[in-house]
Amino acid sequence: MRVAFVGKGGSGKTTMSALFARHVASQGAPVVAIDADINQHLALVLGADESPEPLGSRLAEIKEHLRGDNPRIPSAEAMVKTTPPGRGSRLLRFDDLAASPYAVSTAEGVRLMATGPFTEDDLGVACYHSKVGAVELLLNHLVDGPGEYVVVDMTAGADSFASGLFTRFDLTFLVAEPTRQGVSVYRQYREYAADYDVALAVVGNKVHAPSDVDFLRDQVGDDLLTWMEHSAAVRAMEQGRPFALDDLEPGNADALAVLLKHLDGQVKDWPRFGRQTAEFHLRNARAWANDRTGLDLAEQIDPHFVYGP
């Protein structure tokens, strides 16, 4: 399954992404975590000894690899972030993603990838979506199977809607603090996602009292799946002190199990995935990509290509 963590900046979505990835790995399942947030803190929270090579700086290589022998894509330069796979494209199995030279391992067995931060050359001239586009391309070409997990820490707020990346997941967890600002992002995300069959569940975070849970229930209703109480163990982890999942309070450990059970209950909808891949590619082609490449990128859509295993 592919799951995204989104939320207001400062809501704790990066910490939740890391805790969830660690929990999945602790159950013996293979997991790849991808840092697609502009702030690039996932490696720090996961306790990785090294930072992965930025995907954003390897975009040309990634495109060249993925296009394979697809006759509809004459060159890597003809590929954009939404370019769909077709017959001849080089598809990725989960093991290919996990074994990528752009991934590093953490002590808990999580494989970590990252879009990479802004560089000095990017400042004032580049959009961060040029880096996140690498993640969208990889997910477009990924054929994942049962018991395989990709966990993506997304950009803050509703910025994910600047591309079709928000439709690339089987489930989206929205991390919300029990505040008006925290739930305002939920409302915006729910409104934008409503027309695209995006499965959304709210995870309360930094809950101090039952009144916080009551507030979240009042604001988000049945979308509230579970919540994380204020945690001394998580605060210690964020301060750089030694941390293990066993240090979590029982209620917070149970919340992670609830998230995994809910994710496992999702149905993989390959036909929807294929439809939306084509839809957002056509939108981007008309909006900017045809002019950028000088090509009619609608021709990159292979009508006989079937998504899924």
pLDDT above 90 covers what percent of the chain? 75
Are 112 and 104 contacting, i.e. CB atoms less than 8 angstroms apart? yes
Of 42-56, 133-147, 211-225, the range with the lowest mean pLDDT is 42-56
Looking at residue 47, what is its pLDDT? 87
Q: What is the pLDDT of residues 64-87, one digit of tens each?
A: 999 999 999 999 999 999 999 999
Span 85-97, average pLDDT? 97
Q: Could you tell me the pTM of the whole model?
A: 0.93
- Chain segment 161-187, per-residue pLDDT in tens: 767 899 999 999 999 999 998 899 899
User: Within a 10 A sphere around the Cβ of 99, how many other Cβ atoms?
Assistant: 11
* pLDDT at residue 125, as a whole number: 40
State mean pLDDT over 113-130. Answer: 60
Read off the pLDDT of each residue in 193-221 and give the average, rounded to a whole number.
95
- Biggest CA–CA distance in the chain, Å, is 59
User: Which residue from 192, 191, 306, 259 is spatially nearest to 1, judged by alpha carbons?
Assistant: 259
Cα distance between residue 38 and residue 55, in whole Å: 13
pLDDT at 119: 54
Residue-wise pLDDT tens digits, 227-249: 999 999 999 888 888 889 999 99
Which pLDDT belongs to residue 224? 98
d(CA 265, CA 199): 11
Predicted confidence at residue 116, as pLDDT, reads: 81
Q: Provide the pLDDT confidence category of residue 127 given band limits of 50, 70 and 90.
A: very low
Query: pLDDT tens, 271-281?
Result: 999 999 999 99
Beta-carbon contacts of 82 under 8 Å, excluding residues fewer than 6 positions away, are 136, 140, 163, 164, 277, 280, 281, 283, 284, 285, 289
Q: Which residues does 309 contact at the CB level (< 8 Å), separation at least 6? A: 143, 145
pLDDT grade, residue 123 (50/70/90)? Answer: very low
Burial of 75 from C-beta contacts in 10 A (0-12 / 13-18 / 19+):
exposed
More confident residue, 8 or 129: 8
DSSP 88: T
